[in-house]
A and B are shown apart, each in its own frame.
Chain A
């Protein structure tokens, strides 16, 4: 009886994991769904909005696209818009970004001495958007007590509904 439940639980977890990894392969991005963390792209995106990304190699980076990128050495992804691109004959692209709600471009955010971003810094391009849903993730990060409360309640729920 308990064995069956554990197996059932294991099935659910592994199918969720497979769906996530499958999304990673289809979109070509290591993080196909991200939550917007700052207000630098307002009024288009606010904190807590969810973005769906793709990062296919056949889609070259062009101006106007909304890219999610990471600066070398930092782990927080940033969601901004491409302002300038310079592409060489061999396909190597260097580009500059700026948040819609920021007055200046992102050179102040890049590493010391870094003037451009490259394809390797990009996590993905935003192709789709759903508002508000990501608020839960932000709440769980800002208020860890809330996260523990949610996990505790979930555990309680699972135990109580044993049939």
Chain B
């Protein structure tokens, strides 16, 4: 066997094992960290329409509109093994039709290096808040929480919920025309 070839072979094997050890090290040093931080949510405006669901099944469903504020400091979550955080604001509620409904209203990607302090005011929802039916009418308890998916350089992909949520009731009446 050519010595160049056998040297290249052992070099390749060595670098592969070093990379594997580093990757495993990245994973094991951050596998059990608590990735939760306190979050402050506030809802400033909430109203509801009842229209044909144009995003999917064409039935008349409740369409909710929420204007919200988010305050959170995500700085402590980022470490050597966090590539990005996928933040999402979700509304959770139950209706006559469905025991549990969860709808993502807004999301954001925060990469490592981006500003980790969130100070968002008067945000509109990114996605249409359609219910599966007419369950938002007079719904007492729609809970908004901010959660995030920690995407590591290598390792576990946990879903973490921020501590702090806000529950809002939806009005009984429909809004016919209201600018949003």
**Partner-contacting stretch, out of A26-34, A79-87, A142-150:** A79-87
In contact, B104 and A63 (Cβ under 8 angstroms): yes
- Given known contacts A83-B104, A86-B98, A100-B86, is B109 in contact with A43 (CB within 8 Å)? yes
Q: Which residues of B contact A43 (CB under 8 A)?
A: 83-84, 109, 111
In contact, A128 and B111 (Cβ under 8 angstroms): no
Cβ of A131 within 8 Å of any chain B Cβ, yes or no, is: yes
- How many residues of chain A are within 8 Å of chain B by beta carbon? 29
Interface residues of B in 141-155 (CB under 8 A from A): 147, 149, 151-155
Cβ of A123 within 8 Å of any chain B Cβ, yes or no, is: no
In contact, A115 and B109 (Cβ under 8 angstroms): no
In contact, B154 and A115 (Cβ under 8 angstroms): no
A-B contact pairs, 30 of them (CB 8 A): A43-B84, A44-B149, A63-B90, A63-B102, A63-B104, A64-B88, A64-B104, A65-B159, A66-B149, A83-B104, A83-B127, A84-B101, A84-B104, A86-B97, A86-B100, A86-B132, A87-B98, A87-B99, A88-B98, A100-B107, A100-B109, A107-B56, A126-B157, A127-B156, A128-B156, A129-B152, A129-B154, A129-B155, A129-B157, A131-B154
Given A44-B86, A84-B104, A131-B153, 7 other A-B contacts at CB below 8 A? A63-B88, A63-B104, A84-B103, A86-B97, A107-B56, A115-B57, A129-B155
